[in-house]
A and B are shown apart, each in its own frame.
Chain A
Amino acid sequence: MSTIVDAKGLSCPQPVLMTMNEIKKVKKGEIVILVDTDTSKENVSRAAMAQGWTVKGVEPEGTGYRISIAKD
Chain B
Amino acid sequence: MPKYAQFFSTRWGIIGVGAFIGVFAQLLQKWGNPANMGICVACFERDMAGAMGLHRAAVVQYMRPEIIGFVIGSLIAAYAFKEFRSRAGSAPIVRFILGAFAMIGALVFLGCPWRAALRLAGGDWNAIFGLLGLIGGIWVGTLFLKGGYNLGRSQNTHASVGWLLPLTMLGFLILMLVFPQVQGQDKSGVLFYSLKGPGSMHAPLLVSLIMGLIIGFLAQRSRFCTMGAIRDIILFKQAHLLSGFIALVVAAFITNLILGQFNPGFAKQPVAHTMGLWNFGGMVLAGLAFCLAGGCPGRQLFLAGEGDGDSAVFVFGMIVGAGIAHNFGLASSPDGVGPYGIPAVIIGLLACLFIGFTMRKQVA
Contacts and interface: CB of A to CB of B under 8 A. Distances in A.
A42 B154 contact: no
A14 B150 contact: yes
Interface in B49-107: 81, 83, 85, 87, 90
B153 interface: yes
Interface string A7-50: 01111111011001000000000000000111100110011001
Contacts of A37: 83, 85
Interface stretch (B183-191, B231-239, B258-266, B328-336): B231-239
B282 interface: no
Contacts, number: 55
A20 B142 CA distance: 14
A42 B241 CA distance: 12
Contact of B294 (A11, A36, A63): A11
A13 B232 contact: yes
A39 to B, nearest CB: 5
Contacts of B223: 39, 42-43
A9 B294 contact: no
Contact of A9 (B9, B83, B90, B240): B90
Contact of B235 (A10, A17, A36): A17
Interface residues of A, number: 20
Contact of A10 (B146, B150, B236, B295): B150
Given A12-B295, A17-B145, A63 B155 contact: no
A28 to B, nearest CB: 19
Contacts of B240: 46
Interface of A is mostly: helix
Nearest to B148: A17
Q: How many B residues touch the partner, as a band?
A: 20 to 34
A38 B238 contact: no
A35 to B, nearest CB: 11
Contact of A12 (B83, B85, B146, B228): B228
Contacts of B154: 9-11
B98 to A, nearest CB: 12
A13 B228 contact: yes
Given A8-B153, A63-B85, A63-B156, A13 B235 contact: yes
Interface string B138-169: 00000001100011011110000000000000
A10 B154 CA distance: 6
A42 B83 CA distance: 13
Given A9-B90, A13-B145, A47 B238 contact: yes
Contacts of A38: 81, 83
Given A17-B145, A42-B9, A42-B223, A9 B238 contact: no
A36 B85 contact: yes
A50 B146 CA distance: 19
Interface in B290-322: 294-295, 308, 310
B182 interface: no
A63 B84 CA distance: 11
A4 to B, nearest CB: 14
Nearest to A51: B236
A16 B236 contact: yes
Contacts of A17: 145-146, 235
Nearest to A62: B156
B89 to A, nearest CB: 8
22 contacts: A9-B87, A9-B90, A9-B154, A9-B155, A10-B90, A11-B90, A11-B295, A12-B225, A12-B228, A13-B232, A14-B150, A17-B145, A17-B146, A20-B236, A36-B156, A37-B85, A38-B81, A42-B223, A46-B238, A47-B236, A47-B238, A63-B85
